[in-house]
């Protein structure tokens, strides 16, 4: 069982806000928080948690998981299948598969075009492998173009994940 930040004594440690117009995204807010009592220098390895059957929001998308793993590797952590220091749980939700929350406009190819927006949330938890306690959480929330191409969605996700891990590991 994994204990989440709501059951821990987390102190708000830092927020970064990204409001940009990267591919397919409109006003994505990125926040991170961590347990200030944890020395992140002790962590050397990570592994991805397999999706739980009872968790409909847990991600099994290899592209997204690969982006998260790549960011952790850039930060000096090594992926290890057995006995990893940190386990990574990735969750996401999208408000309605076809229900949009609004619309927007863009000027492209000399024409004004309307597009539909959806809202989504991405949560990345880093869980201490031994105690199964969440020690770091990154959250991204905002609106994105529903009809973005696969390449635009992947570029947008890459930017969000990069921003989420910009201040990782937290300093003591």
User: What's the whole-number mean pLDDT along residues 32-44?
Assistant: 95
The two structure tokens encoding residue 169: 């590991």
* 153 token code pair: 């969605």
Least Cα distance to 162 among 34, 68, 38 occurs for: 68
| Mean pLDDT of the region 53-68 | 73
Give the mean pLDDT of 94-103. 49
Summarize the confidence of residues 81-108 as an average pLDDT: 71
Q: What is the pLDDT of residues 122-157, one digit of tens each?
A: 999 999 988 889 999 999 988 766 666 778 878 888
Over the stretch 7-16, which tens digit does the pLDDT of each residue have? 333 333 333 3
What is the four-CA torsion angle of 7, 11, 16, 17, rounded to 10 degrees? 60
| Per-residue tokens: 27 | 């006003």
Quickly state the pLDDT bin for 55 (edges 50, 70, 90): low
What are the structural domains, with CATH classification, of the chain? 5-164 (3.30.160.670)
Q: What's the mean pLDDT when you consider all of the chain?
A: 76
Q: What gap in Å lies between CA 28 and CA 89, rounded to an integer? A: 20
Q: With a cut of 80, say whether residue 76 has pLDDT above it.
A: yes
CB contact at 8 A, 34 and 5? no
Q: Token pair of 137, please?
A: 């959480």
Highest averaged pLDDT of the listed ranges 31-40, 54-63, 114-123? 31-40
Decide if pLDDT at 104 tops 70.
no
Q: How far apart are CA 50 and CA 114, in angstroms?
A: 38
């Amino acid at each position: 069982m994994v204990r989440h930040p709501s059951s821990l004594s987390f102190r708000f440690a830092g927020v970064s806000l990204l409001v940009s117009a990267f591919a397919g995204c409109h006003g994505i807010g990125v926040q991170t928080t961590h347990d200030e009592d944890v020395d992140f220098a002790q962590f050397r390895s990570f592994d991805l948690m397999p999706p739980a059957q009872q968790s409909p929001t847990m991600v099994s998308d290899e592209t997204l998981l690969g982006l998260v793993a790549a960011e952790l590797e850039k930060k000096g952590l090594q992926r290890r299948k057995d006995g990893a220091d940190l386990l990574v749980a990735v969750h996401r939700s999208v408000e309605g598969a076809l229900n949009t929350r609004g619309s927007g406009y863009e000027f492209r190819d000399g024409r004004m075009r309307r597009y539909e927006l959806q809202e989504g949330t991405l949560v990345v938890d880093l869980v201490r492998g031994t105690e199964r306690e969440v020690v770091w959480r990154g959250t991204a929330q905002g609106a994105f173009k529903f009809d973005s191409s696969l390449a635009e969605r992947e570029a947008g996700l890459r930017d969000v994940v990069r921003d989420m891990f910009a201040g990782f590991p937290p300093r003591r």
